[in-house]
Structure formats: structure tokens, C-alpha cells
């Protein structure tokens, strides 16, 4: 059977990771955060990409897709599962092109879940979440937001043109946002078939 994929996008601190954890509990998806996979690879002493990844992350730039896409594919294969939330990817045209080339024929894209949140709210959340990340500081955040606006927004617009975007107002609290998320995952065409 063809695995199905939901891309989860939104600015840094929009709540993608938090909401994905909830979705996993209720709807049997596997959550794959591209950022987490990259950080894991960076921390692996055997990796030849550690330094490159850290530099990209601190500068808020997007790591070349060959690295990210192979981490995602390996994680999908290793899971043995068939429903994936791919969080924080594709973030730019290079990501999208690389994914299309390597993966488009192997999986079915269900939709793109877009957590829409103004930058001021995102900034506040990143600065107060205390995740110990090397990019949750004002200087990196400014760069991440620029990357988001210049590179990721056009990808969301691309999927909007294909009518594949499900937009969520992510400014509210976790519970309220999750109510809207649930509504989407309860739709018969989403929940059905491959639940
Ligand atoms: N990143 C990347 N490619 C990806 C996902 C993440 O290069 O596909 C890098 C990028 O530098 C980004 C950082 O990892 O700024 C952190 O991403 P993450 O998704 O963890 O941040 P979030 O949006 O969840 O705050
Ligand atoms: Mg995240």
C-alpha cells in the first residue's frame, strides 16, 4: 500500500510539534520532524554532516534537500508504518524539488496542514519555550523568520494553488487550536480508507 503523508507547515514556534504530538495520540500517524531529524544527525558523532547542519540551523538557512530527504525516507522505512506527519518540510523550492524527485511517486500527499501565526506570537513562544536550542535566540529567529517569509511562504502558496492547504488559526491556546485540528482529521475523506 502507498504510504500517506501530511505536510505540516507554519512559522518557527507556530505549534507544529505540539499539535503533531496530539495528532499522533489520536489518529495513528507517525510524527517526523525534519528539524528534529537534522538535530539528531548533527549530534551523531559518525555523521559527516554535523558541522554543516549546525551552521545552517544557527543561520536559519535550509539544509540541502539531499540530506533532509534521505533522513525522512530512512525514518519512514524504519517505522514500518504507513501514515506520516512530516513537520517542517518542505521549506523551500529546493526541498520541494528534491522531494518530488525522490518521493512523489512513492507516497500520497493527503494535504498540507498550515499553522498560521503572526511573527510576534511566534517570537514570544520561541523565546519562552526553553528548549535549549541554538537557534531560539533573537538573532537566529530574525533569520529564521526571513527564511520563512521568503522561502517557505511561496511553498504554502504553491499548495494553496493546488487546493491542498488546510489552514488553522494557531494564535490561540493549545486546546483551542487542537479542536480545529481534530475537525480536519475527523473528516471522512481524511479519516477514512487508510485509518
Ligand atoms: N531545517 C532545514 N530543513 C528542514 C527542516 C529544518 O534546514 O527541512 C533547519 C532550518 O535551519 C530550521 C531549523 O532546522 O531553521 C529548525 O527547524 P525546526 O523545524 O525544528 O524549527 P521550528 O519551525 O519547529 O521552530
Ligand atoms: Mg518544531
Q: What is the mean pLDDT of the chain?
A: 96
Determine, yes or no, domain membership for 65. Answer: yes
Task: Determine the atom of ligand 1 nearest the C-alpha atom of 58.
Answer: 11
- How far, in Å, CA of 175 to CA of 3, rounded? 29
Residue 194 has pLDDT above 50, yes or no: no
Q: Percent of the chain beyond pLDDT 70?
A: 98
Residue 133 has pLDDT above 60, yes or no: yes
- Residue 154's nearest CA partner among 100, 96, 105 is 96
Give the cell for residue 121.
506570537
Residue-wise pLDDT tens digits, 8-50: 999 999 999 999 999 999 999 999 999 999 999 999 999 999 9
Give the cell for residue 43.
549530534
Determine, yes or no, domain membership for 35. Answer: yes
Number of domains composing the chain: 1
Domain that holds residue 103: 4-187
Determine, yes or no, domain membership for 37. Answer: yes
pLDDT band at 192 (very low <50, low <70, confident <90, very high): low
Binding residues, by number, are 13-18, 39, 61-63, 88-91, 95, 129, 133, 144, 172
> Cα dihedral sign for 52, 57, 61, 66?
positive
Give the cell for residue 182.
481534530
Strand blocks (E) in 1-154: 4-10, 30-33, 83-87, 108-116
Q: Percent of the chain beyond pLDDT 90?
A: 95
How large is the average pLDDT for residues 76-93?
A: 98
Binding residues for CMP, by number, are 95
CATH code of the domain covering residue 12: 3.40.50.300
Residue 74 has pLDDT above 90, yes or no: yes
pLDDT band at 189 (very low <50, low <70, confident <90, very high): confident
Total-model pTM: 0.95
Distance in Å, CA 34 to ligand 1 centroid? 7
> Cα dihedral sign for 38, 40, 45, 46?
negative
Determine, yes or no, domain membership for 75. Answer: yes
Residue 52 has pLDDT above 60, yes or no: yes
Amino acid at each position: 500500500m502507498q504510504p500517506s503523508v501530511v505536510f505540516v507547515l507554519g512559522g518557527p514556534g507556530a505549534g507544529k510539534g505540539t499539535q503533531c504530538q496530539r495528532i499522533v495520540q489520536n489518529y495513528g500517524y507517525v510524527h517526523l520532524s525534519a528539524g528534529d531529524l537534522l538535530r539528531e544527525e548533527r549530534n551523531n558523532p559518525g555523521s559527516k554532516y554535523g558541522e554543516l547542519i549546525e551552521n545552517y540551523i544557527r543561520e536559519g538557512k535550509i539544509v540541502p534537500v539531499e540530506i533532509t530527504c534521505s533522513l525522512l525516507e530512512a525514518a519512514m522505512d524504519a517505522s514500518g508504518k504507513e501514515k506520516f506527519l512530516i513537520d517542517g518540510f518542505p521549506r523551500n523550492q529546493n526541498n520541494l524539488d528534491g522531494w518530488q524527485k525522490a518521493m512523489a511517486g512513492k507516497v500520497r500527499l493527503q494535504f498540507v496542514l498550515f499553522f498560521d501565526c503572526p511573527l510576534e506570537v511566534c517570537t514570544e513562544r520561541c523565546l519562552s519555550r526553553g528548549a535549549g536550542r541554538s537557534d531560539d535566540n533573537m538573532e537566529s529567529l530574525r533569520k529564521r523568520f526571513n527564511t520563512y517569509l521568503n522561502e517557505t511562504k511561496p511553498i504554502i502558496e504553491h499548495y494553496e494553488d493546488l487546493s491542498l492547504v488546510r489552514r488553522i488559526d494557531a494564535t490561540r491556546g493549545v486546546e483551542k487550536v487542537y479542536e480545529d485540528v481534530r475537525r480536519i482529521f475527523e473528516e471522512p475523506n481524511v479519516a477514512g480508507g487508510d485509518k
